[in-house]
Amino acid sequence: MTLDIITSPDLDGVTHGFFGRKGGASSGVFAGLNCGYGSSDQHEVVSINRARVADAMALAPTQMVGVHQVHSADVVVVDAPLDPQPKADALVTATQGVALTILTADCQPVLFADHKAGVIGAAHAGWKGALNGVLENTVTQMETLGARAKDITAVIGPCISQRAYEVGPEFMDQFTAKDQKFDRFFVAGKGDRMHFDLPGFGLHVLQASGVSTARWTHNCTYADPERFFSYRRSVHQKEADYGRLIATIRL
């Protein structure tokens, strides 16, 4: 089956893709292109899925570089595969033939490129990482490799949308404690519930960091089970586990 690969015209000239769940070898709750070794899916099957992604990126699977994601604001500079994977949530490189990869299942996968400098980045930005600076730190680390913020394009891929992201007041408090104006990323729900605009917040942070272009692909992971995995949807449906989507970019 053909893979479902979302690309952005803003990243034209750089091989990249936000991969949906179609076209993979996994079954059950992981049906499709589950690329997460951290799931309880069969390791060999995940390897098959990742090999299909590598093929689509015109690379060997060993050239796909990732990190052990922990919802941090930490960024690593890479020029070769990492073994073991460091705990971090973003990667940057100026090395040809290295594909940066991020796994998500509602959090924001963000791909970055400075076409002029030949520097790319990839970040896993859930609410915690986004609030604590993973996106700004990615831009800063790209600059250490010769990029300039004003020349960087950043694209947020499929993630949970505001309509599906219900949170409690204590969640909002963490944002307004940092900046009262962050209350604009929340709208009232039922009772004391609120709905948080994760991609809207991500775009705000990216724009504030000085990047030239920041976009969201406008795909909601929660709302489209045929196309995307979603951690929150799996919880609501009382499923034992969930698949992980992969986003990747290479020079």
Does the residue 231 lie in any domain? yes
What does the pLDDT look like over 197-219, one tens digit per residue? 999 999 999 999 999 999 999 99
Listed in sequence order, the DSSP H helices in 103-210 are 127-132, 134-144, 169-176, 198-208
- As a whole number, mean pLDDT of residues 125-153 equals 98
Q: Is the confidence at residue 1, as pLDDT, over 80?
A: no
Q: Reading across the β-sheet that carries 64-65, which strands appear in turn?
A: 5-6, 15-19, 245-250, 99-104, 64-65
Quote the number of domains for the chain: 1
Instruction: Tally Cβ neighbours within 10 Å of residue 117.
Output: 16
Q: Residue 245 sits in which domain range?
A: 16-161+197-250
Which of 213 and 84 is assigned the larger pLDDT?
213
Does the residue 77 lie in any domain? yes
- Whichever domain contains 240, its CATH number is 3.60.140.10
Mean pLDDT of the chain: 97
Does the residue 178 lie in any domain? no
Count the residues in the chain.
251
Contact 148, 114 (CB under 8 A): yes
- Stated pTM of the model: 0.97
What does the pLDDT look like over 157-176, one tens digit per residue? 999 999 999 999 999 999 99
Does the residue 61 lie in any domain? yes
Does the residue 10 lie in any domain? no
Q: Give the CA distances from residue 145 to residues 77, 85, 94, 168, in Å, rounded to whole numbers and listed in that order.
A: 9, 21, 7, 40
Does the residue 186 lie in any domain? no
Does the residue 34 lie in any domain? yes
